[in-house]
Structure 1
Amino acid sequence: MATAIDHFYTQLESVRANIREQIESAIDSLIEKQTKLINRLETEYLSQLTEYKVTDNTNQSNEISIRGVNKDGRTELTTIRFQLNQDVYDNLQNIGQFVTNTTVLSDYALREPVIPDYQTKTNPVISCFKKNETNSPVLGEFKSPWGLAIEPNSGNIYISDRSHYCVQVFNPDTKFLYKFSQEMGGPVGICFSHNRVLVCQWGKNYITAHSLTGEVLKKVGKKGVGKLEFNSPWGIAASCGDLFVCERENDRVQVLTENLGFKSFLGEGELKDPRDVKVTSNEVYVLDAHNPCMHIYNLTDYQLIRSIISLKSQISNPYFFDLDRENNIIISDAANQCIYIFSNTGVLIHRIGELLEVLKDIMAVVIDKNGRICCVSGCSQGVFNIF
């Protein structure tokens, strides 16, 4: 990593020498701004990365990006973007020099993920948002809250409502921010990739990409069994740009490129009702609900490595799961109204609840960087709960 930083500074100094006359007094303030940001990246952020790459987006107004993957192997963050004027771009064809658009990394983004003491988790510390059985959406109320994801930079909470055809967004303190409903067709699974929100539209068998505020960027898919065709897309995950989509009725995971193009199929002939997927630095975890177990695939060639079959003796109706920093598995069980925590070898660590009312019809479950387990359920008293 030190070599990359040294190279980065070399490029900055080259810019200082090559274009000082061109931009006159403006260069000083721009370099000062960039140097401060690079210092922050070096001291606060790059040490947390396991991967680091520079992307040359020549078709996007000479924009160049640096992107990183966090230590957990699945949290993607766009760290900084540069936009070059044409002369500089033509001359250097390398790392960018002018900071014109910067993603500021929040304290949440820089925070090291916490492994909680699971044994202390018995009842929710926060229970909020009401159940709304009508067909009239109300802010902060949900009819079928099925999907849940936490944005990795801000910590904002995104909850999909399958029946109200929308995604509602809240800050980490559960204060409502905004909602979006464009191109919604029964939204379920949610994930984030490169400052985009990706949503599985279960009811209409396609995938949508949105800006973080909900603007529709792209839509792909239709019902079917071929490439870029889906049948009940449910869980979704991202890794280094690639997307992994569980198709419950097609019994497979479809792998898409960053631009929502087809890349591959995973698990054909091995999966039955796959509901959720998570990706680490080298493996793909797929929750198979028909005979509850966890299939684990190699991220490089998508070949099955092993299966954790001990889950089936305890879990009845799992819908979603998440992984903590040590790849312990946190699974929701709607039939037993509880949350299970297993080691990545299938040993039961802890169970939260047993027919617990706040976990009635529990769907998505995630663990945030603070070690809090968050979930959505059909409980009339509080559809969003934090343990």
Structure 2
Amino acid sequence: MAKIPNIEHLKPILKSNKNTESLAGPRGIIQDYESELIYIADAGSDVIRVFTPSLEPVLKFGDSKILSTPAGVCIVNGVLFVCNWGLHTVAIFSLDGEEITQMKEVTTSNGLSRFTQPIGITYDKHKDEVYICDYGGNMVKRFNDVQHIFAMINKPFDVKLTDEFVIIVTGETVCLHFYNKEGDMIKSIVSSNQGNESDIGNPSFFGIDDKNTIWLSDYRRHCICQISMDGKILRRIGGKKPSRGNTELFSYPTGLLLEKNGCLISACVRTDDQIQLFDIKHFR
């Protein structure tokens, strides 16, 4: 998989033991469009780190007593929801870092349903509904005033919405699953984990741009994939395992954020522990 040229590499933040703001396993990313601040779950440090749009650190909050391997993040009605993988809760904070509560369970038609390794999360602002991937429970939960299990699905990792679909990514041999808003499965597309170079190696977090194309982090193949809604892989950015210091390639990419200005922010772990900002307008 050749690296696609002409990626504008704007600025990386690299791991440094001397830097108190260094990253140690970044995962989920979200932006508050009012303040434009970017919130990143730093799973290796059990904190949330906050950056400006130019990726300058401005704040960090949380500790190992209230966060354990934080993963997906989402802003819901002016507060931050954090999938607290290691503690099996969803932590809720004010945007300036004050802990509000820890959700351990939701009420469904079958009674209480506890979280087990929650990981991916998204918010439907039009219906005021939150979707959470309960990885260990093999389900996606949806809740507002009425809380229920939206879909039973093996090892859901992340979830995003379009006007028509709820799209869930899993680590199965077919990794992208489309549901209507009523919870009915419509289709599954894109092969993964089958050893073929044309497949997705290990899908992680993803986003959907304003042209309704999917941008998916491929953890194993060290790349970001652009995928059409019918399952065609349009391009791969990256694709070779980078060495330390080579900041133009991805190293085990996880979290992904598509900005309104046509840029993509990717979080990479292991080799570099960094976040990178790319201009992808010419790919849209």
Aligned 1:4-43 pairs, distance under 5 A: none
Between the two proteins, the alignment pairs up a number of residues equal to 258
How many angstroms apart in 1 are the aligned matches of 2:6 and 2:30?
Answer: 20
Aligned 1:1-387 pairs, distance under 5 A: 122=7, 124-130=9-15, 132=17, 139-181=20-62, 183-221=66-104, 227-240=112-125, 241-257=128-144, 263-268=147-152, 271-299=153-181, 301-310=182-191, 313-357=198-242, 358-378=249-269, 380-381=271-272, 383-387=274-278
Q: Higher mean Cα deviation, 355-364 or 345-354? A: 355-364
Gaps of 5+ in 1: 1-118
Tell me which protein shows more strand as a share of its residues. 2
How many angstroms apart in 2 are the aligned matches of 1:266 and 1:206?
Answer: 18
1:351 to 1:123, Cα distance in 2 relative to 1, 3 A = farther
1:123 to 1:272, Cα distance in 2 relative to 1, 3 A = farther
Gaps of 5+ in 2: 243-248, 279-284
1:248 to 1:382, Cα distance in 2 relative to 1, 3 A = closer
Any idea what the Cα deviations from partners look like across 1:15-53, whole Å, max 9, x if unmatched?
A: xxxxxxxxxxxxxxxxxxxxxxxxxxxxxxxxxxxxxxx
1:13 maps to which residue?
A: none
How many angstroms apart in 2 are the aligned matches of 1:205 and 1:379?
Answer: 24
Structure 2 counterpart of 1:151, one-letter code: D
Structure 2 counterpart of 1:325, one-letter code: D
How many angstroms apart in 2 are the aligned matches of 1:141 and 1:337?
Answer: 21
SS at 1:199 equivalent = strand
Q: Is the 8 A contact 2:174 2:188 kept in 1?
A: no
Q: Is the 8 A contact 1:253 1:266 kept in 2?
A: yes
Q: Higher mean Cα deviation, 235-244 or 280-289? A: 280-289
SS at 2:53 equivalent = coil
Tell me which protein shows more helix as a share of its residues. 1
Q: CA deviation at 1:266?
A: 2.0
Q: CA deviation at 1:184?
A: 1.5
How many angstroms apart in 1 are the aligned matches of 2:146 and 2:86?
Answer: 21
SS at 1:130 equivalent = coil
**TM value normalised by structure 1:** 0.62
Percent identity, aligned pairs only, is 26
SS at 1:141 equivalent = coil
1:319 to 1:303, Cα distance in 2 relative to 1, 3 A = same
Say which structure, 1 or 2, has more relative contact order (CA 8 Å, 6+ apart).
Answer: 2
Q: Is the 8 A contact 2:176 2:189 kept in 1?
A: yes
1:382 to 1:163, Cα distance in 2 relative to 1, 3 A = closer
